[in-house]
């Protein structure tokens, strides 16, 4: 178990570094006037299924900044801890309606619309829970640079090693940064406040 945690944190560090490079690339493309001359291609359009069983297009997120997190409903500690923290950070940064929190399952075989919908409701604050076919989830993971590897688990049959970093996007759907598990709350709140404007 200790080795598994070390591997997970190492993966988190790798993703955080990669996201930082993407962010620096994005910032370096901005001229002195503040106008962006090039876009960072990270993320992208998708259509998944919401907790209500209806199709959910990423176009629905346009016009409002959002934080997106990939996990699974049977996750023992990392996922509920991360989502609970996101809710707390959002409340500290501004009104709940000013920023969307999006949860995308990496385990669509077990997390159907009902499961992601009920899971999203557990945190006492609006969270958009999404699922889809395995092919759809694989595509979105690829677009957002998410690592997810199934591992055998004695009690549940299967667990996942996965990226635990939260990705932040602005009103136009452009990637602007991350929130890592080890980042201080003050820094994360500042990032959210900057997004909310």
Beta strands 55-57 and 157-162: pairing type?
Answer: unpaired
Instruction: Report, as an integer, the average pLDDT of 62-76.
Output: 95
* pTM exceeds 0.75: yes
Res. 23: pLDDT tops 90: no
- Tens digit of each residue's pLDDT (9 = 90 or more) over 172-187: 999 999 999 999 999 9
Contact yes or no for 160/149 (Cβ under 8 A): yes
**Domain CATH code at residue 150:** 3.40.30.10
Res. 20: pLDDT tops 90: no
Residue 159 pLDDT: 82
Res. 155: pLDDT tops 80: no
Contact yes or no for 98/91 (Cβ under 8 A): no
| Percent above pLDDT 70 for the chain | 76
Contact yes or no for 155/58 (Cβ under 8 A): no
Contact yes or no for 52/132 (Cβ under 8 A): no
Per-residue 3-state assignment (H helix, E strand, C coil) for the chain: CHHHHHHHHHHHHHHHHHHHHHHHHHHHCECCCCCECCCCCCCCCCEEEECCCCEEEHHHHCCCCEEEEEECCCCCCHHHHHHHHHHHHHHHHCCHHHCEEEEEECCCCCCCHHHHHHHHHCCCCCCEEEECCHHHHHHHHHHCCCCEEEEEECCCEEEEEECCCEEEECCCCCEEEEECCCCCHHHHHHHHHHHHC
Which residue is associated with the tokens 């009104």?
A: 95
Res. 30: pLDDT tops 70: no
Res. 10: pLDDT tops 60: no
pLDDT band of 153, cuts 50, 70, 90: low
Tally of domains in the chain: 1
Domain range for 66 is 2-30+37-196
Going by C-beta distance under 8 Å and a sequence separation of 6 or more, which residues neighbour residue 160?
A: 72, 75, 106, 107, 148, 149, 150, 151
- Tens digit of each residue's pLDDT (9 = 90 or more) over 96-119: 999 999 999 999 999 999 999 999
Of residues 102, 34, 27, 115, the one with CA closest to residue 65: 102
């Amino acid at each position: 178990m200790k080795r598994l945690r070390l591997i997970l944190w190492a993966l988190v560090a790798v993703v955080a570094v990669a996201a930082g490079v993407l962010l620096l690339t994005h910032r370096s493309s901005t001229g002195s006037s503040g106008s962006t001359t090039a876009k960072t291609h990270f993320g992208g359009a998708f259509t998944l299924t919401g907790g209500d069983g209806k199709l959910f297009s990423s176009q629905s997120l346009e016009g409002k900044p959002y934080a997106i997190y990939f996990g699974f409903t049977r996750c023992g500690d990392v996922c509920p801890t991360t989502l609970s923290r996101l809710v707390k950070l959002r409340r500290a940064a501004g009104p709940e309606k000013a920023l969307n929190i999006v949860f995308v399952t990496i385990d669509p075989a077990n997390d159907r619309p009902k499961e992601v919908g009920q899971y999203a409701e557990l945190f006492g604050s609006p969270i958009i829970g999404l699922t889809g076919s395995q092919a759809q989830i694989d595509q979105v993971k690829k677009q957002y640079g998410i690592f997810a590897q199934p591992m055998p688990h004695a009690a549940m049959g299967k667990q996942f090693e996965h990226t635990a970093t939260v990705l932040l996007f602005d009103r136009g759907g452009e990637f602007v940064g991350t929130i890592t598990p080890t980042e201080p709350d003050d820094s994360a709140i500042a990032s959210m406040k900057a997004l909310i404007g």
